[in-house]
A = this chain, B = another copy of it.
Amino acid sequence: MKTERTTLKRLPERGAHDRETIDAILDEGLVCHLGVVDGEGRPFVVPTIHARHGDRLYLHGSPASRALRTSRDGGTDVCVTVTLVDGLVLARSAFHHSLNYRSVVVYGRATRVEDPVEKATALTALVEHVLAGRSAGCREPDEKEVKGTLVLSVPLDEASAKVRRGQPIDDEEDLGLPVWAGHVPLSIVAGEPVADAGVTEPWPGYDLSRARGTG
């Protein structure tokens, strides 16, 4: 939904409000940055794992976690930002240096998930977000673990995406400068899995090219 808050004031050509673009970025980004306002009115930003499930974004943590505790009672305003850095943009002028990136900003009121069925769905989505296919291959949460985990839900009603791709945009008078200009793509790659001590099972063959964040 395009609201006053999600309407980009600058470089509006970089903005997108379609859910397809937004969902793809949320799903690919391995972590989000959760912003809340603390008890003294100051901002607090913490990285955490998120998972999108339909029209909602789920976050979790121990009930003792500070950022989530702030969001605990009756819902709290949050801002959740997911950023994928896709490359370096080297312009002819220092001024026009930039990064290629895709980002999503979600504004909303985070509320606690109390319903056990929704909570189980959210916890599965969070494991699947770390690695697709993993939730079926490990021990599922027991009742104590589900109770011991705080799960927050944020609606995706008020979200916007911003995307920068491709080459630098230099000033016309700089185009003839004897300076290399262009962009350098960056990507995330998975290394060899490292088994924990005592593990005798073979690597299950998860498709790591599909690991979130690796594009």
Interface residues of A (CB under 8 A from B): 9-10, 30-31, 33-37, 41-47, 49, 62, 64-66, 77-81, 83, 85, 87-88, 90-95, 97, 99, 101, 103, 105, 107, 123-124, 126-127, 130-131, 134-135, 137-141, 145, 149, 167-168, 170, 174-175, 177-199, 201-204, 208, 211, 213-214
Complex Cα distance A135/B90, Å? 10
Residue A180 contacts which of B140, B174, B195 (CB distance < 8 angstroms)? B195
The answer on a CB contact under 8 Å between A94 and B139 is yes
The answer on a CB contact under 8 Å between B180 and A187 is no
Most chain B CB within a 10 A radius of its CB, from A78, A79, A177: A79
Complex Cα distance A9/B69, Å? 12
Residue A9 contacts which of B35, B64, B83, B198 (CB distance < 8 angstroms)? B64
A contact patch SS = mixed
Chain B residues with CB under 8 Å of A126's CB are: 97
Chain B residues with CB under 8 Å of A213's CB are: 85, 186
The answer on a CB contact under 8 Å between A196 and B184 is no
9 A-B pairs whose Cβ atoms sit less than 8 Å apart in the complex = A30-B99, A31-B83, A43-B45, A90-B131, A90-B138, A167-B194, A170-B196, A180-B204, A188-B189
Complex Cα distance A211/B150, Å? 37
| Closest B residue by C-beta to A106 | B45
The answer on a CB contact under 8 Å between B123 and A94 is yes
Known interface pairs A33-B33, A41-B37; A81-B46 also in contact (CB < 8 Å): yes
The answer on a CB contact under 8 Å between B42 and A77 is yes
Known interface pairs A10-B65, A92-B139; A214-B193 also in contact (CB < 8 Å): no
| Closest B residue by C-beta to A66 | B9
- Minimum CB–CB distance for A31 against chain B, Å: 6
- Minimum CB–CB distance for A215 against chain B, Å: 11
| Closest B residue by C-beta to A203 | B180
